Every structure is written in C-alpha cells, then in structure tokens.
C-alpha cells in the first residue's frame, strides 16, 4: 500500500471538485484530485455549457456567477478552455414575458449588471431562423459566455496539471475517507491510501460510496434532464446562449421582478409543467445545436427510479416547442442523452463538515457551470480562514 501526504485532497473532478482544486492550487497548496471515472462524465460534461449569471437569484448566486465569468475568462487568457463570449439572450414570446424582461432590465441597471433590451426587429436580425411570430423582444447580456461541456473540464484539469502542480488521478474510486490520528486518510477501491490535512468531497450525485447515511438522511433529490443535439448545421451560426419564454418563467432572476406574482408567470401549459420542460439552445463548436431540457425528480436514495431511458414523449414536446421558436436548417438529431444532478430541497447547495477537516460540497443543482468557480473560491477561503 503506497502513501503520500497532501495539503488537500479533492474527491470528484466535476466542475465543483475541479474548481476547488484550482483555487487550492492557486493558494499554493499541494493538491490531489481523485476521479472515479477514466474522465469526468457526469453533469459537468452533459450540459449546455451556458454560463449565465443572468438567470441566478440576485445577491449570492449572481455574485458567484459573475465571479465565475471572470475566472473562466482569466483561465481562457492563459489556456484554451473553450470559452466563447457571444452573450446570452432571453427571448420573450408574449406580454407577460415582455413585462418581466423590462423589469429585470431595471433591476440589472440598479445592480450594475450590463444588459440591453432588444426589439423584435433586432432579435430577428441577430438570431437567424428565429420565428417572427414567436419573438416579441428580448433581453441580452453581452458579458456572458459559453463553454464546450465535453472539453472545458478536461482542459481545466490539464492546465492545472501543466501549470499549477496539481496531481490528478482519474480511474480512482474513493471508497473510504476519515480523520484518524490528526490527519485525513483517503483510500481507493484498489487499496491505495493517501493522507492529507483536509479533504473536500464533491461527489456530484454519487451518494453510495462515501457517507451514504448523510445523504440518505438529507433532503437531496436528483433531477434527470433530457437533452439532444442536432447534426452540425451547415453555414448557420447561432451565437451564445439562447433562452426562451419558458426559461423566463422558470429562472430565479425573473421571480424577483415586482410583477412576477401578479402576472401568474408560473402558470404554464400542463405538458410543460408535467415534465419540467423549458427550451434552451446552444450551438456547439462543431456547428451542432444542443437543445433541451426537461426535469424529473427522485429522492437521493431512490434515484435509480428515474431510470436510464430517454422518454420519447418528452423529446417530442421539446422538439415541437423548439420548432415553434426557430427554423433551423436541419432538425436531424445526432444524439439524445440524459443528465442528472443533485439539489437540496431546502438549501441552494449542500455543505457539511462530516468529520474533522472533511467537507462535503455537492448538490449545486442546475447552476454548477455558472456558479462553481465562484462558490469554490469562497469555500477555499472559508475552509482555510
Ligand atoms: C443536462 C444538464 C444541463 C445543464 N446545463 C447547465 C448550464 O447550461 N449551465 C449551468 O450553469 N449548469 C448547467 N447544469 C448544471 C451543471 O452541469 C451541474 O450543476 C454541475 O456540472 C455539477 O457539478 P459537480 O461537480 O457537482 O457534479 P458532477 O459533474 O456530477 O461531478 C462529480 C464527479 O465526482 C465523481 N465522483 C463521485 N463520487 C466519487 C468517488 N467516491 N470517488 C471518486 N470520484 C467520485 C464523479 O465521477 C463525477 O465526475 C446542467 C446540468 C445538466 C444535467
């Protein structure tokens, strides 16, 4: 059995784990990042890659999101991690959504967060294929970015290995972790042991291997999302993150608009409500368009009940609504997949010190590509204060 001592061991190399490792390395710590799979293949690589502080609630999460934007851009200036800055747009499809984007524009101005309102005509010029009868106007955030979910985290890890002295061990399932005789002991399923002063567990939705009782007694639920991707679109460009009417009705930032409750913006068609559908588009670097998504929920302990199948009824609802919004050159699909993330019913993220110097940080929900880099920076400060 080999043993090596680190300042900090991170379990899980998704967005949360990798960004905790990044801030730990930047602090000059000797960091070991352990990942159970050959490369991370969970929520962090299955998403849209939309970095959208504009959708987050004001205060804490918008702050993390805006700080994440700075971190992504700073990383991109040193190493290509696939950041593109083409902004985010929320397209209103009726008077209710139009009122909300106008109100959010006023709020943004007070908060010093740059956004501009686009007229219907401006939207139609900026976003080719956008349907005239869908669009009533939009709010646009020029500072926001996208990343390529199938590349970003692998490149951040590569950067940390090359330039920040990170030690990274993929294909290493951590099966034991405890604080014993003044240090943290971490063991993997092949019997290798590592020690450290501190451990941060960012296990995503894997609740079986480490401290299962903590998760099973928590109010964490798992959400299953259905996603799809078209084949590459020839000679067609759709820039940035495209969010639409149902997202305006769903995202937290809009809930804070003064007339959100009176407009009954939460009242949406039953088929969308049943499957938690809202429609987002993002063109990947290869020209394909990622389209989603839906939300189904099960408690952490029973997440297997969500199943592995891609439900065709949900796909049809997503595609039908997507076609009402855009006229794409081709709707031929190249892939369908499911993504899963944990979220707490009562907290915006799950944080717990489960033993001396052993911290769990997980269940960041649907905001991990936007908020993880900023949240991780603050956690490292807190843990090392
Ligand atoms: C379909 C979909 C679309 C989304 N779109 C967006 C978006 O556009 N913008 C946005 O901001 N957010 C989005 N999200 C949310 C975002 O993807 C997640 O919040 C984020 O990826 C969660 O990161 P994580 O590190 O907590 O979890 P994960 O990505 O699940 O990473 C956890 C990692 O820990 C590893 N691990 C677990 N247990 C162990 C163990 N015992 N030993 C070793 N390794 C272990 C796992 O293998 C995994 O790699 C989306 C999510 C989904 C599913």
Are the C-beta atoms of 288 and 332 separated by less than 8 Å? Answer: no
Cα dihedral 90, 93, 95, 97 sign: negative
167-169/31-34 β-pairing: parallel
pLDDT at position 263 is 86
Tell me how far apart the terminal alpha carbons of the chain are, to the nearest angstrom: 33
Dihedral over alpha carbons 12, 15, 20, 24 (to 10 degrees) = 100
Residue 107 CB coordination number (10 Å):
16
Contacts with 372 (C-beta within 8 Å, 6 or more apart), sequence order? 15, 16, 19, 68, 364
137-141/116-118 β-pairing: antiparallel
Q: Which of 310, 366, 373 to mutate to test ligand 1, by most ligand atoms within 8 A of the CB atom?
A: 366
Are the C-beta atoms of 16 and 200 separated by less than 8 Å? Answer: no
Cα dist from 191 to 50, 158, 186, 187, 228, whole Å: 39, 26, 10, 6, 39
pLDDT at position 354 is 98
Would you call 290 helix, strand, or coil by DSSP? Answer: strand
Two structure tokens written together for 228: 């799809």
Strands (E), the chain: 5-11, 31-34, 50-51, 88-92, 116-118, 137-141, 145-146, 167-169, 174-180, 183-188, 193-201, 220-230, 241-243, 280-283, 289-292, 296-299, 333-344, 350-355, 358-362
- In the chain, how long is the greatest CA-to-CA distance? 68
pLDDT at position 264 is 83
Are the C-beta atoms of 300 and 331 separated by less than 8 Å? Answer: no
Residues with CB under 6 A from ligand 1: 11-17, 34-37, 40, 42-44, 46-50, 173-174, 202-206, 209-210, 225, 227, 292-293, 339-341, 362, 364, 366-370
Dihedral over alpha carbons 32, 161, 153, 36 (to 10 degrees) = -40
Q: In this structure, which residue's CA is closest to atom 53 in ligand 1? A: 339
pTM above the 0.85 mark?
Answer: yes
Strands (E), 236-372: 241-243, 280-283, 289-292, 296-299, 333-344, 350-355, 358-362
Cα dist from 95 to 101, 138, 301, whole Å: 10, 12, 42
The CA 224 to ligand 1 mean position distance, Å, reads 12
pLDDT at position 187 is 97
Q: Which of 11, 84, 204, 370 to mutate to test ligand 1, by most ligand atoms within 8 A of the CB atom?
A: 204
pLDDT for 262-319, tens place per residue?
A: 888 788 999 999 999 999 999 999 999 999 999 999 999 999 999 999 999 999 999 9
Digit-by-digit pLDDT tens for the chain (385 residues) are: 455 799 999 999 999 999 999 999 999 999 999 999 999 999 999 999 999 999 999 899 999 999 999 999 999 999 999 999 999 999 999 999 999 999 999 999 999 999 999 999 999 999 999 999 999 999 999 999 999 999 999 999 999 999 999 999 999 999 999 999 999 999 999 999 999 999 999 999 999 999 999 999 999 999 999 999 999 998 999 999 999 999 999 999 999 999 999 888 788 999 999 999 999 999 999 999 999 999 999 999 999 999 999 999 999 999 999 999 999 999 999 999 999 999 999 999 999 999 999 999 999 999 999 999 999 999 999 999 8
Query: What is the total residue count of the chain?
Result: 385
Q: Which of 9, 10, 12, 292 to mutate to test ligand 1, by most ligand atoms within 8 A of the CB atom?
A: 12
Q: In this structure, which residue's CA is closest to atom 14 in ligand 1? A: 366
pLDDT at position 2 is 52
The CA 259 to ligand 1 mean position distance, Å, reads 34
């Amino acid at each position: 059995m080999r043993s090596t001592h680190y300042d900090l061991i991170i379990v899980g190399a998704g967005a949360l784990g990798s960004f905790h490792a990044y801030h730990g390395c930047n602090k000059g710590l000797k960091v070991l990042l352990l990942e159970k799979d050959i490369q991370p293949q969970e929520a962090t690589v299955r998403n849209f890659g939309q970095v959208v502080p504009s959708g987050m609630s004001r205060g804490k999460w918008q702050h993390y999101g805006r700080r994440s934007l700075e971190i992504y851009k700073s990383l991109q200036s040193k190493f290509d991690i696939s950041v593109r800055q083409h902004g985010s747009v929320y397209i209103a499809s009726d008077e209710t959504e139009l009122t909300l984007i106008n109100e959010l524009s006023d709020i943004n101005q007070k908060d010093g967060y740059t956004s501009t309102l686009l007229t219907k005509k401006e939207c139609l010029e900026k976003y080719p294929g956008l349907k005239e009868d869908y669009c009533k106007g939009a709010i646009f955030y020029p500072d926001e970015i996208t990343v390529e979910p199938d590349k970003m985290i692998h490149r951040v890890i590569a950067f940390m290995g090359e330039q920040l002295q990170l030690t990274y061990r993929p294909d290493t399932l951590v099966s034991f972790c405890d604080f014993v005789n003044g240090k943290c002991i971490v063991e993997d399923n092949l019997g290798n042991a590592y020690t450290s002063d501190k451990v941060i567990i960012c296990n995503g939705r894997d609740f079986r291997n480490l401290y299962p009782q903590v998760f099973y007694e928590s109010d964490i639920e798992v959400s299953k999302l259905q996603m799809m991707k078209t084949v590459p679109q020839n000679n067609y460009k759709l820039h940035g993150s495209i969010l639409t009417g149902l997202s305006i009705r769903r995202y937290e930032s809009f809930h804070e608009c003064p007339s959100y409750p009176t407009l009954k913006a939460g009242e949406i068609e039953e088929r969308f409500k049943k499957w938690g559908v809202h429609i987002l588009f993002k063109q990947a670097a290869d020209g394909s368009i990622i389209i989603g998504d839906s939300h189904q929920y099960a408690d952490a302990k029973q997440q297997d009940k969500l199943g592995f199948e891609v439900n065709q009824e949900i796909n049809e609802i997503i595609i039908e609504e997507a076609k009402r919004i855009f006229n794409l050159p081709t709707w031929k699909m190249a892939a369908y997949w499911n993504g899963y993330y944990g979220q707490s019913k009562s907290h915006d993220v799950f944080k717990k010190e489960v033993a001396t110097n052993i911290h769990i940080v997980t269940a960041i929900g649907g905001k991990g590509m936007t908020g993880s880099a900023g949240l991780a920076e603050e956690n490292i400060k807190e843990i090392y204060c």
